[in-house]
Chain A
Amino acid sequence: MNKLEQAIRKTTGEGVYTSSFFSNTESNGIEEIAKMETSFLASKEELRKKKIIYPGMKNSKLYNSFRELRSTITGEKSNNIVMITALDVKSGTSFFARNLASAIAFDTSKTALLVDCNNGHSEVGDTFNVSGSNGVSDYVSDTKIMIEDIIYESGVKRLRVIPFGKIDSQVDEQVNHPRFQQLLNEIKNKYQDRNVILDAPPVLNSADARILLNLCDQVVVVVPYGSVSKNKIEEAITLIGRDKLAGVVFNDYLN
């Protein structure tokens, strides 16, 4: 999606989008979701390019894996913040987070919001063609920016995304800001049947990740092939705590 498309989305679609997404909180959730307008839908080719799963894709095994994981992780829960993290960089966290969010969005009774909190390795902006737009960091640092200004369509029905933003801060304190906590509260509680997926940095070597642990409801750890030892896993479990740990997902990838 180019800049022109983004401009059209903001001017034409945003009104519909905003009204449908942030108005009438009293109404029925399913109806609300059904009303959720999508100005554009990504083609299969685009989804393949972005490595996003879709019904009827060739690699049905992967598609089914995500659907099963969706059921296991979110179940019947709603208004849930799931933090996707790993023990080290390049573990496939972003890939897992966007596809888990997509899998949740495939359920017509639910919506998903993918929030990129992965400072330094943010991928959401690039993947969903909103890399130059405002995001989490901009919202935190600029009080003039409203929540609705940083939520974007993904091209997948019922899936919205919030990129990390333009300000590439060198300081790991974005998520510690009261405005970030306010952001999470709002996006979590304002709508029914909303699942928030946080694309988080590695849990063992990031202060942001540790702060996010306190703000989320569930944590999923991605363990890539041949990179993680028993000691590291045990260290991570201790850090996360048994209550919040939903479980680990083995990423049997081959690059």
Chain B
Amino acid sequence: MSYTPVELVTNILKDTWRIKNIGLIIFLITSLSVLAVSWKWPKIYVSSSIIEIDDQNILTPLLEGSAIATSINDYARNAEQLISSKLAMTKIMDVLQSETLLMTARQKGSLWEDIKDKASVENIGGNLLKISYRSKDPEEARLLASNLVDVFITESIEEKRRESEGAYQFIAGQAGSYHKKLLDSENALKEFRSDNLGADPASSAVVNDRILELQRSIEQSNLAMNEAQIRMENTDAQLSGEAEVSAHLTREGQIQERISVLHSKLDTLRMTYLDNYPDIIIIKDQIASLKVTMLNVKNEESVEISQNQGGTLNPLFQELRAKRSQFSTELAALKTRIKETRQLLEEEKSRARQINNAVAVHAQLTRDYVGNKALYQKLLKQRESARVSMNIDIANQGMTLKVKEPAVVPHRPIGLQFIHFAVLGIVAALGAPFGLAFMFGAFNNSYKTIGSLRELQGLPVLGSISTYRNPLLEPRTIAWVLFSVICIIGVFSLYGYVGWLKFTGQA
């Protein structure tokens, strides 16, 4: 079944008309019920006091960063806690002594719960705090609001003082503890330094240089020793090829032979080493030296040959033996030097290890000391800040709580007023019959227009008929309408009368 909006409205009106008697009863019940509720509706009065919290006084800029200020939101939270504290309860109960004198502890507890429910704290922006109390009695509202404000102010200042003092005590305790730690680490450092004189990074560098120097010396001595060894071996080889006493041979020929041997040795070495190899250089030097000797001998020999007939001492042999003795001495000296240098190197290395350990321990002790010192200095600063905050609070200079707007006796109640009930009651009472008709129509799945009837498939619809006469002109209907109008006027008059009583304070 589908209806146009106009049909829907018409149907609601028709349905309302059909249930007009029930509708009239609903109107009367609704309007009179709302009137009864408005009559009994309690008047709630709220008394509020606004407190200005000033913690930005003249000391603030002077003590910027030294004293810690509490934020306004903290005050609002504190205020809620304060006015619900046991202390507040005791004070308020004292104020209400006349009422609570004969009460048991349980009754007092119940009364206090009631008072807490009726009290409220609100941060109304900026540094303003609003403490309110609602009650059926305006005088009671003012009394409680005013006393709660007093409790809040007294307790806030006291609380802040206690808080600052506690903070100072705690920080001072911490500072003392760190002072002891600092002294301990200072002493440990001092003792270590006394026990490890010269064990510092500078000494470590000196020892390292010394180690390098010794290592270099050992290397050089090794080279020199190798060189001496080779020389001695060469001399030995030369000696093995020479007779202590030479036959009648020309020295030139002997030297020539010696040069040949050296050349052959040189060739052998060159197959393995480069020309700058020490043995090659030495052999080359020897060859050059023998060639010079051979030239001198050549000149002398021509004379000697004629004078010396028979064997003589071999001069080359003598010379080689002298050189060998020299090389042997040199080699022994080098070996001794190397051994001593190595011993020195071991000593230096041991010393270097000791120094490194000492440096590490020293660094650890220094770190402890520096850390403790920094913390201690910070705590000292904080202790001074806390001391200043505490002194400010003791002098009552940290925070000013000013009652900007004192609690007064409220004259007008809050919440729903009679006018709200009147509007609600009349609108609801007039609307209820239509609402009921609408509900009735919504759940009634029957035909309400000829159009909807025609939607039914296969049903011949012949036409429609209407009411014979306008029902509003029927005497019975006119009587009903008159009765209804009288009822409505009666209800309106009753509302007006109650409104007048409320307005004039008679109800």
List A residues at the B interface (Cβ < 8 Å): 48, 51, 53, 59, 61-62, 65-66, 68-69, 72-73, 92, 95-96, 99, 220, 223, 225-230, 233, 237, 245-255
Q: Which of B434-454 contact A (CB under 8 A)?
A: 441, 444-450, 453
Would B17 and A254 count as touching, CB distance under 8 A? yes
Would B460 and A245 count as touching, CB distance under 8 A? yes
Shortest Cβ distance from A72 into B: residue:
B462
| B9 CB → nearest A CB, Å | 15
Would B14 and A226 count as touching, CB distance under 8 A? yes
The answer to whether A233 and B465 touch (CB under 8 A), given A226-B18, A226-B447, is no
Would A237 and B448 count as touching, CB distance under 8 A? no
B461 proximal to A (CB < 8 A)? yes
| CB 8 Å contact bits of B186-223 with A (1 = contact, 0 = none) | 00000000000000000000000000000000000000
Point out the residues of chain A lying under 8 angstroms from B420, CB to CB. Answer: none
Would B466 and A73 count as touching, CB distance under 8 A? no
Q: Which of B172-180, B280-288, B312-320, B467-475 contacts A (4 or more CB under 8 A)?
A: B467-475
Point out the residues of chain A lying under 8 angstroms from B448, CB to CB. Answer: 225-226
Point out the residues of chain B lying under 8 angstroms from A248, CB to CB. Answer: 453, 459-462
What DSSP secondary structure best describes chain A's contact surface?
Answer: mixed
Would B15 and A254 count as touching, CB distance under 8 A? no
Would A69 and B463 count as touching, CB distance under 8 A? yes
Point out the residues of chain B lying under 8 angstroms from A226, CB to CB. Answer: 11, 14-15, 18, 441, 444, 446-448
Interchain CA distance A146-B449 in the complex, whole Å: 45
Point out the residues of chain A lying under 8 angstroms from B450, CB to CB. Answer: 250, 252
Point out the residues of chain B lying under 8 angstroms from A220, CB to CB. Answer: 462
Point out the residues of chain A lying under 8 angstroms from B467, CB to CB. Answer: 62, 252-255
Interchain CA distance A220-B463 in the complex, whole Å: 11
Interchain CA distance A228-B460 in the complex, whole Å: 16
- Considering residues A92, A99, A253, which has the most beta carbons from chain B within 10 angstroms of its beta carbon? A253
Would B460 and A246 count as touching, CB distance under 8 A? yes
Contact of A252 among B15, B445, B458, B466 (CB under 8 A): B466
Interchain CA distance A204-B179 in the complex, whole Å: 108
B464 proximal to A (CB < 8 A)? yes
B303 proximal to A (CB < 8 A)? no
Q: Which of B1-38 contact A (CB under 8 A)?
A: 11, 14-15, 17-18
Would B468 and A250 count as touching, CB distance under 8 A? no
Shortest Cβ distance from A53 into B: residue:
B468
Would A59 and B465 count as touching, CB distance under 8 A? no
Would B463 and A254 count as touching, CB distance under 8 A? no
B271 proximal to A (CB < 8 A)? no
- Considering residues B453, B465, B467, which has the most beta carbons from chain A within 10 angstroms of its beta carbon? B465
The 6 closest A-B pairs by CB, nearest first: A247-B460, A250-B464, A247-B462, A250-B450, A51-B468, A253-B467
Contact of A227 among B441, B446, B458 (CB under 8 A): B446
Would B463 and A68 count as touching, CB distance under 8 A? yes
B58 proximal to A (CB < 8 A)? no
| B24 CB → nearest A CB, Å | 16
| A131 CB → nearest B CB, Å | 21
| B426 CB → nearest A CB, Å | 26
B101 proximal to A (CB < 8 A)? no
| B29 CB → nearest A CB, Å | 24
Would B471 and A250 count as touching, CB distance under 8 A? no
| A85 CB → nearest B CB, Å | 14
Q: 5 more A-B contacts (CB under 8 A) besides A72-B462, A254-B467?
A: A226-B14, A226-B446, A246-B462, A249-B464, A254-B14
Would A228 and B446 count as touching, CB distance under 8 A? yes
Contact of B465 among A48, A228, A246, A249 (CB under 8 A): A249
B507 proximal to A (CB < 8 A)? no
Interchain CA distance A62-B463 in the complex, whole Å: 11
Point out the residues of chain B lying under 8 angstroms from A62, CB to CB. Answer: 465-468
Would B471 and A229 count as touching, CB distance under 8 A? no
Would B466 and A65 count as touching, CB distance under 8 A? yes
Shortest Cβ distance from B444 into A: residue:
A226
Shortest Cβ distance from A234 into B: residue:
B456
Shortest Cβ distance from B477 into A: residue:
A255
Would B462 and A228 count as touching, CB distance under 8 A? no
Point out the residues of chain B lying under 8 angstroms from A230, CB to CB. Answer: 445, 447, 456
Q: Which of B466-491 contact A (CB under 8 A)?
A: 466-469, 471
Point out the residues of chain B lying under 8 angstroms from A250, CB to CB. Answer: 447, 449-450, 453, 461, 463-465
The answer to whether A229 and B466 touch (CB under 8 A), given A247-B461, A248-B461, is no
Interchain CA distance A255-B20 in the complex, whole Å: 11
Interchain CA distance A225-B11 in the complex, whole Å: 9
Interchain CA distance A248-B450 in the complex, whole Å: 10
A–B complex contacts, Cβ < 8 Å, 12 sampled: A53-B468, A65-B464, A226-B448, A233-B447, A237-B459, A247-B459, A248-B460, A248-B461, A250-B447, A250-B463, A250-B465, A255-B18
- Considering residues B17, B448, B460, B461, which has the most beta carbons from chain A within 10 angstroms of its beta carbon? B460
The answer to whether A59 and B468 touch (CB under 8 A), given A223-B453, A226-B18, is yes
Point out the residues of chain A lying under 8 angstroms from B445, CB to CB. Answer: 229-230
Interchain CA distance A147-B291 in the complex, whole Å: 190
Q: Which of B330-354 contact A (CB under 8 A)?
A: none
Interchain CA distance A48-B448 in the complex, whole Å: 27
Interchain CA distance A230-B1 in the complex, whole Å: 10
Point out the residues of chain A lying under 8 angstroms from B459, CB to CB. Answer: 233, 237, 247-248
Would A228 and B463 count as touching, CB distance under 8 A? no
The answer to whether A251 and B464 touch (CB under 8 A), given A223-B447, A228-B447, A230-B456, is yes
Point out the residues of chain A lying under 8 angstroms from B469, CB to CB. Answer: 48, 51, 59
Interchain CA distance A253-B460 in the complex, whole Å: 20
Shortest Cβ distance from B20 into A: residue:
A255
Interchain CA distance A250-B1 in the complex, whole Å: 15
Point out the residues of chain B lying under 8 angstroms from A223, CB to CB. Answer: 447, 453
Shortest Cβ distance from A62 into B: residue:
B466
Would A252 and B464 count as touching, CB distance under 8 A? yes
Interchain CA distance A226-B16 in the complex, whole Å: 12
Would A72 and B463 count as touching, CB distance under 8 A? yes
Point out the residues of chain A lying under 8 angstroms from B463, CB to CB. Answer: 65, 68-69, 72, 249-250
| B459 CB → nearest A CB, Å | 6
Interchain CA distance A68-B449 in the complex, whole Å: 19
